[in-house]
């Protein structure tokens, strides 16, 4: 878009890749999430991608990664992108891989800010729907940030979904069996994450 200079790939998933980039206008490092080109032709995926930007931009909490910009590439390959604050550190998944399991005090120190961020999202009517250790970032000072609201939706009970999106290990039963959800599905995911942090393994296999 003429403003962001991509430097290196930070992560890649089924929907998008995230790059470390330089905001040339403000001379600062940012993270740029770019939807995969083949999905940029799909109106449903583009709508979901933009919804992530709007949902996260509406949140104002120190433990939620901030959204700084959203747009479309005007030239070249189709590209829908979101610009986020850059968190220099690792994911909770990577931290757990190194440690195996955590003490109760450590788990509380991690989950209290995460649940505080989630509470703020629920307060203004947003369900995350994809909570997992990969979506919790830890900066170099140990500060936690909740990210990736790609499956976020408005906090109204919904039934009869045509498809279930998310990470199966962390999904509440009603989301899988009944294809319905409300804010409680996030609480279930928090319980699964907490169990993994304490024991080093998931509650179900």
Helix (H, G, I), strand (E, B) or coil at 153: strand
130 is catalytic: yes
Backbone angles phi, psi at 31, to 5 degrees: -110, 130
Helix (H, G, I), strand (E, B) or coil at 149: coil
Nearest-angstrom CA–CA distance, 94 and 155: 30
Burial state string for 43-55 with b = 16 or more CB within 10 A and e = fewer than 16? eebbebbebbbeb
From the number of C-beta atoms within 10 Å of its C-beta (0-12, 13-18, 19+), residue 153 rates as middle
Catalytic-labelled residue, pool 23, 105, 130, 139: 130
Provide the annotated active-site residues: 130
């Amino acid at each position: 878009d003429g403003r962001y200079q991509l430097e290196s790939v930070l992560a890649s998933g089924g929907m998008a890749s995230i790059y470390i980039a330089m905001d040339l206008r403000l001379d600062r490092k940012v993270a740029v999430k770019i939807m995969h080109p083949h999905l940029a032709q799909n109106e449903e995926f583009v709508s979901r991608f933009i919804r992530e930007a709007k949902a996260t931009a509406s949140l104002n909490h120190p433990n939620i990664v901030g959204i700084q910009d959203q747009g479309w590439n005007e030239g070249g390959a189709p590209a829908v992108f979101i610009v986020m604050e850059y968190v220099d550190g690792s994911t909770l998944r990577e931290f757990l891989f190194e440690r195996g399991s955590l003490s109760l005090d450590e788990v509380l120190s991690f989950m209290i800010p995460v649940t505080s961020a989630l509470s703020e999202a629920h307060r203004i009517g947003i369900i995350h729907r994809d909570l997992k250790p990969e979506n919790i970032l830890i900066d170099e000072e140990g500060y936690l940030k909740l990210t990736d609201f790609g499956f976020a939706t408005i906090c109204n009970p919904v039934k009869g979904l045509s498809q279930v999106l998310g990470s199966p290990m962390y999904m509440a039963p009603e989301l899988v069996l009944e294809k319905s959800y409300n804010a409680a599905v996030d609480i279930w995911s928090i319980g699964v994450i907490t169990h993994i942090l304490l024991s080093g393994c998931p509650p179900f296999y």
